[in-house]
Amino acid sequence: MGVKALAVPVLAGRAAAVAKLRQGEPGGRRRRRGGGVLPWAAAGAALGVGAAVVVPEPRTTRLTGRVALVTGGSRGLGLRLAREFGERGASVVVCARDGEELERAAADLEGRGVRVRTVRCDVTEPGAPEQLVREAVAAFGHLDFVVNNAGIIRVAPYEVLEEEDFREAMETMFWAPLRVARAALGPLAETGGSLVNITSIGGRLSVPHLLPYSCAKFAEVALSEGLGAEVARRGVRVTTVVPGLMRTGSQRAAVFAGNAEREYSWFALGAGLPLVSVDAGRAARRIVEAAARGRSHLVLTPLAVAILAARGLCPSLVQGAMRVMAGALPRPSAQPREKRGAAADTGLVNGAVRRAAVLNERAAADLNQEPRRDG
């Protein structure tokens, strides 16, 4: 099967699988006649098999004496990147808004022998990115890597989104990375360092029910690629990272609205299925190696490569798949409530999703994500 033909059923199949699961719930259109969640989880995983080509592990470049700053480094992919930099010998500065999360992250990193400093800050606040970079340089004397990783995820249909939701996404995933980059260019030019921007496949393909996120990530991709071309003459390298689905436990911290429990189902299932999503540790190793080698572009996961190829070859076909996916996603409830993922993870279907996506549940526990709550 060619990549163009492969990408479309993968995208549509994820949402369709969850829609099938929902047919057995009270109020569903008809009873599920048997099989439960596991056959559909297996089917979803099977859709990714064709895309899951063997990608060799990158060689490990040592980073002894180097210094890395990671925004949003207290949990998820950011924490895994901080570990990877530290395990290669780098000193690490991590920032986040939540002080308790930062304390746990610092304890995790110090327990692994990593030299770490934490900075509590909100990168969307005026002056915060500039102060963050100053503190990072002061902590270890110089700066070799800056990773724009901080992000937010809001999963909801367009009907329940407000303009403020788009503004918040843009502030966090476009304006903040721009300000961090502007502040860091001087220190990075002094060391011939690298700026790493963690974008998303959502910055190349706008996914239904993730509009604010996709809009911000599209802008961040443009910023990263254009900036990389312009600052090369100063000796600064820019790596644009385009991840596909990763098992980072991000479903715990994401915000869900419209029909929070059902929105959680499809998001958690898609982000956690083996072969469709990639292990966070493997992703971090590839990202850090790409930054160390000065690569300008990195697409993570074979599925993301297939989607980008399909979109380039036949954008109308991929857009048709997005319409199929949107039709399978949940409609807003009569009284929509906004919930964090830890609170939206309730009901029989989400219990089944947890079992199907057990690797992502383990990632959430390992990467300092908010624990699950049953209420």
For 156-195, the pLDDT digits (tens) are 999 999 999 999 999 999 999 999 999 999 999 999 999 9
Q: Which of 175, 213, 218, 256 is catalytic?
A: 213
**Angle between helix 176-191 and 128-140 (nearest 10):** 30
- The structural domains of the chain, ordered by start, are 3-54+311-366 (no CATH), 67-260+276-300 (3.40.50.720)
The predicted-structure confidence for 275-304, as pLDDT tens digits, reads as follows: 889 999 999 999 999 999 999 999 998 989
Tokens 């990193």 locate to 109
Q: What is the dihedral of CA 162, 338, 259, 320, to 10 degrees?
A: 40
Nearest CA-CA partner of 199 in 296, 331, 292:
296
At residue 337, φ and ψ (nearest 5 deg) are -125, 140
Burial class (CB in 10 A: 0-12, 13-18, 19+), 170: middle
Which bin fits 16, alpha (ψ -120 to 50), beta or left (φ > 0)? alpha
Q: Where are the alpha helices (DSSP H) in the chain?
A: 3-22, 37-49, 76-87, 99-111, 128-140, 163-170, 176-191, 211-231, 260-272, 280-293, 302-313, 315-328, 341-344, 347-356, 358-366
**One digit per residue, pLDDT tens: the chain, 375 residues?**
443 344 444 444 545 544 545 555 444 444 444 444 444 444 444 444 444 444 555 568 999 999 999 999 999 999 999 999 999 999 999 999 999 999 999 999 999 999 999 999 999 999 999 999 999 999 999 999 999 999 999 999 999 999 999 999 999 999 999 999 999 999 999 999 999 999 999 999 999 999 999 999 999 999 999 999 999 999 999 999 999 999 999 999 999 999 999 999 999 999 998 888 999 999 999 999 999 999 999 999 898 999 999 999 999 999 999 999 999 999 999 888 899 998 999 999 999 999 999 999 999 999 999 754 443
**Residue 154, Cα to own-chain centre: how many angstroms?**
12
**Is 158 in the active site?**
no
What residues contact residue 182 under an 8 Å CB cut-off, 6+ apart? 129
How far is it, in rounded angstroms, from Cα 318 to Cα 325?
A: 10
Give the pLDDT confidence score for residue 60 in this predicted structure. Answer: 84
